[in-house]
Amino acid sequence: MLKAGILIIVVFMTIQSSGQTDFAYLRKDMVTTQLKGRDITDSNTLRAMGTVKRHEFVPKRVQHLAYTDGPLSIGHAQTISQPYIVAYMTQQLKPKPHHRVLEIGTGSGYQAAVLAEIVDTVYTIEIVEPLGIKAKECLDRLGYDNIITKIGDGYQGWLEHAPFDAIIVTAGIKNVPPALLDQLAEGGRLIIPLGTTFNMHLMLYTKKNGKIKQKERLAVSFVPFIRG
């Protein structure tokens, strides 16, 4: 596993003579070392991660760090997740081209963009209004017309567009919101970080024959889920 310090060195070694960062090179290297070099094998996920311009979703002052192996602050006490975690959660959902996906916690808009490269439609909710507005502006500018955004509390999901083939939650919470399980389509998958600050795991929920099954995945650290 590569350490963040090594990757930061790589970042600065790939500055072009013109003084501009070669983001395409860094994105390709990220996919090769951080994703393929671990356990990300899904071709759709790898293609999406290699396509979405992560540097467009972070503040300009840290754009040169956009493809390093860690989360970055996006303001308002929120972060853009480590690339590996974005890829891991995407892969766990097993997204398909015909899928409709609900995301709770738009944040920068990066996770939504990755999913939008694979699925038919992404519905995403952000409770922090300035972040939601900025994410929509970014997604619109980059041409993601299959992402529907909303400012609000995601705890109750988005009933008017349910059911969803997949649901992803990008903030830590103690218990899974019941509404999200209710809005999961038959055969659907939900990935969510559950627990407390110092004891949190990604949990995968699947619905089969109307029944919910759960599996514990990675130990993780996420910003807390915000209620309205």
73 assigned to active site: no
Token duo for residue 131: 């972040």
Tell me what percent of the chain is helix, strand and coil, each rounded to the nearest 5: 35, 30, 35
| DSSP 8-state secondary structure symbol assigned to residue 224 | B
Q: What is the β-pairing status of strands 184-196 and 199-208?
A: antiparallel
The number of CA neighbours under 13 Å toward the Cβ of 181 is 15
Inter-axis angle of helices 23-30 and 43-51, nearest 10: 160
Catalytic one of 43, 81, 108, 221: 81
**Residues labelled as active-site residues:** 81
